[in-house]
Amino acid sequence: MSSPGTVPQTTPGTTPGTTAEAKDLIRLRRIAELRSQVATWRRAGESIAIVPTMGALHDGHLELVRRARVDCERVITTIFVNPMQFNRPDDLSSYPRDEAGDTAKLAENRVDALFAPAAEEIYPKGYQTRVSVPLLSDCLCGAARPGHMEGVATVVAKLLLQSLPDAAYFGEKDYQQFLVVQRMARDLDIPVRMEAVPTVREADGLALSSRNLLLTPAQRDQATAMYRVLTELAARLKDGRTPAPPALAWGRAALGEAGFDPVDYLELRDADTLQPLERAERPARLFAAAWLGQVRLIDNLAVVDG
């Protein structure tokens, strides 16, 4: 997995492709339609990428699409706000949705197909199966949001098995999620290349996220503190000798002073296993999750690259 270092990895750029260049986007709602479309492309010998999303697309998602387009001949984007990964009903109901806007962005970025199933298509009556990746899931966001990582692993396993792509693309902003789905695909022998794409940031460092749309203007200003604190901590810890606990205590206080309340976690972890670290003495990453009002923001940053 590539590691982005401690500076803003990518900034939002202009969207390649214009409406004039946009070609028709194939819209698929049913798994059978998706399978039939994939079979057509496979018969033509074409390679296929999938970009799983929950919609409300921003430049971070479009960066995944751009990477997928470079690597594969056909790109499928999925939009499915997955109820299984939400542990709070209000979080699910307030999750931003904009299928019309999303469709236009995907067409402009020359995505070949949009798979946007209804909840009953993915979880029909009688559905029971769950996929769990316990060691990588039970910490960080998994601890703060019980059942979340299981919901993610389950839906990504289903999407991969429905589309059988050559490669699947995920943002490094959800680094723990990437480790979980990568492990899941390996453990279940799903023949797919799992690709992590560096976080896209605003000019002030805020990681792009669909949830940023829910911030008030004042909260949007406060939100920049998360990246500032992570950057400062990475600089303090990168020598590999500085003890993490006092530095992290400083970081939690700084987030609190900036208006984050509560801070779910601010931690230094092994970049591969997610085990807690006392010092950044091997590939290590900082992870943060904290609330501004009703909005929970997360971010992470490499301290020592793998």
Q: Provide the minimum distance between the beta carbon of 266 and ligand PAF in the complex, in angstroms, as a whole number.
A: 21
φ, ψ at 226 (rounded to 5°): -60, -50
Structure tokens at 43: 């018969």
Please say which residue, 63 or 248, places its beta carbon nearer to ligand PAF.
Answer: 63
d(Cα 222, Cα 219) in Å, to the nearest integer? 5
Q: Residue 211 in contact with residue 218, Cβ under 8 Å?
A: no
Residue 21 CB coordination number (10 Å): 11
Q: Residue 28 in contact with residue 71, Cβ under 8 Å?
A: no
Q: Provide the minimum distance between the beta carbon of 184 and ligand PAF in the complex, in angstroms, as a whole number.
A: 11
Q: Provide the minimum distance between the beta carbon of 78 and ligand PAF in the complex, in angstroms, as a whole number.
A: 7
Q: Provide the minimum distance between the beta carbon of 51 and ligand PAF in the complex, in angstroms, as a whole number.
A: 9
Q: Which residue in 58, 61, 67, 252 is the catalytic one?
A: 61
Q: Provide the minimum distance between the beta carbon of 295 and ligand PAF in the complex, in angstroms, as a whole number.
A: 16
Residue bearing tokens 């920049």: 224
Minimal CA–CA distance to 204: which of 5, 4, 14, 8?
A: 8
Which residues are at the interface with ligand PAF (CB under 6 A)? 52-54, 82, 85, 152, 155-156, 174, 177
Tabulate helix, strand, coil % of the chain (nearest 5): 45, 20, 40
φ, ψ at 171 (rounded to 5°): -85, 140
Q: Residue 131 in contact with residue 95, Cβ under 8 Å?
A: no
Please say which residue, 152 or 167, places its beta carbon nearer to ligand PAF.
Answer: 152
Minimal CA–CA distance to 253: which of 242, 266, 243, 241?
A: 266
Q: Residue 145 in contact with residue 177, Cβ under 8 Å?
A: no
- Of the CA atoms within 13 Å of residue 284, those in its CB half-sphere come to 23
Residue 61 known to be catalytic: yes
Please say which residue, 38 or 81, places its beta carbon nearer to ligand PAF.
Answer: 81
Please say which residue, 172 or 258, places its beta carbon nearer to ligand PAF.
Answer: 172
Q: Provide the minimum distance between the beta carbon of 92 and ligand PAF in the complex, in angstroms, as a whole number.
A: 12
Please say which residue, 150 or 267, places its beta carbon nearer to ligand PAF.
Answer: 150
Please say which residue, 99 or 221, places its beta carbon nearer to ligand PAF.
Answer: 99
Element (H, E) at 256: helix 244-258
Residues forming a β-bridge with 261 = none
Which residues are the active-site residues?
A: 61
